[in-house]
Structure 1
Amino acid sequence: MQSIARTCRASAKAALFAVLGMALVASLPVVAKQSDRNEPVDVHSKSFDGSQQPAGKVIWTTNVILTQGTLKITGDKATGYLDADNNITRVVVDGKPATIHQLDEQNEPMDGQALNIDYKVDQDFAVLTGNAKVKQPAKGSAEGDKLTYNTKDSTMTGESNGAAPVHMTFQPKNKPAAAPATPAAPAPDTKKP
């Protein structure tokens, strides 16, 4: 199912987006793999500047790749914010595009991209802004100026600030395959030796 509002009436657009937004919440769960939080955070980049002091900040630049378990975030620049225990609580990534990849609890991939990704790890949500796209091959996809998803409770919202509407595609649920037909019994051999 594809949804693109084609009417100029604001109330029709608002109603359509509200209905489709609710359908998107139900059909695109993005529950991040919770075990990823117990894995170490590994960051590669061309350079970094910052302090690993409590409540510190680290800025990584050029070819940034941040991984933690199944989570992988890439971009041109990333800013990591640390809590009092020196854990990363938030990562803001800029890129052309910045990307995020993670498996959910059912080991299904979720891939997102945008010009900016603000992932508030400690609050369980990420905001993708600027030509934002989220895809789950088994579920569907969403595109808009801004997509916000909650990695803990599977809710997602989208909005468009420009002329282009939010766009969603829903994948059909796979139906169980029909049982294979029972092969016919072989015909008895009627030839006599």
Structure 2
Amino acid sequence: MNRLPAASLLLIAAFALPTAVLAKASDRNQPIDVDAGSSDCSVSDERLPCLLTSGVTITQGTLEIQATRADLRRSNGEFQRVILNGGPVKLKQQMDDGGWVDATAAQADYNMPSDTVVLTGNAVVNQPGQGKIEGQRIVYNMATGRVQGGGEGQGRVRMQFQPRNQTPAQQPAPAAQGGR
């Protein structure tokens, strides 16, 4: 298993998307484990990307990311940007409140200095019991908590909000479908 320095990939406590609930804070202090079919990284020239391919799995605490490829960019010894591609990229993480959030997209681009994650290509962020957002592009600013969604071309943003005052047993049953 390849191992990256913990400070390198704060990367992704990030994907606690559309609500004010935050990703498990203790995850940021956990080691980051990377498993990939191959890697091509330079230890002496940080201008070169660190490329991980062939089934990439990144875990840090409760965070789990699966991608086909990860492209990590550094500057001054720190990771600045992580670009994940897959069919699709899958992310899952526990929140501080005990709930879970999961996201999928064709690509996830995390800009660490601006604390911004951009999910593109059939992006879906789901927090069971809270809600869901879908679109061709979802931008999440972790510093401000702002989430923006948009479509490309004829694409639309679809959102679903769950009522907070109902337990699953109280939610109305789906209407029976039948012909007359």
What TM-score, normalized to structure 2? 0.73
Which runs of structure 1 show a deviation greater than 4 angstroms over 4 or more consecutive aligned residues?
none
Report the Cα distance in structure 1 between the residues aligned to 2:113 and 2:58, rounded to whole angstroms: 16
**Partner of 2:60 in structure 1?**
68
Query: Of the two, which has the highest radius of gyration?
Result: 1
Please provide the CA RMSD for this pair.
Answer: 2.1
Q: How many residues align?
A: 149
- Note if 1:174 corresponds to 2:165: yes
Report the Cα distance in structure 1 between the residues aligned to 2:45 and 2:95, rounded to whole angstroms: 30
Report the Cα distance in structure 2 between the residues aligned to 1:82 and 1:90, rounded to whole angstroms: 7
Report the Cα distance in structure 1 between the residues aligned to 2:29 and 2:128, rounded to whole angstroms: 26
Deviates more, 1:137-146 or 1:94-103: 94-103
**Unaligned 5+ residue runs, structure 1?**
1-26, 177-193
Matches within 5 A, 1:119-134: 119-134=110-125
Answer 1 or 2: which has greater strand percent: 2
Report the Cα distance in structure 2 between the residues aligned to 1:30 and 1:45, rounded to whole angstroms: 30
Structure 1 residue identity aligned to 2:62: T
**Offset of 1:65 from its aligned partner?**
0.4
Distance 1:123 1:103, change over 3 A: farther
Please give the per-residue CA displacement for 1:129-166, whole angstroms capped at 9, x wherever unaligned: 01110000021000001001123432211001122311
**Partner of 2:171 in structure 1?**
none
Whether the aligned pair in 2 keeps the contact of 1:30 and 1:154 (CA below 8 Å) is: no
Matches within 5 A, 1:37-116: 37-53=28-44, 55=46, 57-85=49-77, 87-116=78-107
**Unaligned 5+ residue runs, structure 2?**
1-17, 168-180
**Offset of 1:115 from its aligned partner?**
0.5
Report the Cα distance in structure 2 between the residues aligned to 1:122 and 1:138, rounded to whole angstroms: 31
Q: Which has the bigger relative contact order, CA under 8 A and spacing at least 6?
A: 1
Query: What percent identity do the matched residue pairs reach?
Result: 36
Whether the aligned pair in 2 keeps the contact of 1:66 and 1:73 (CA below 8 Å) is: yes
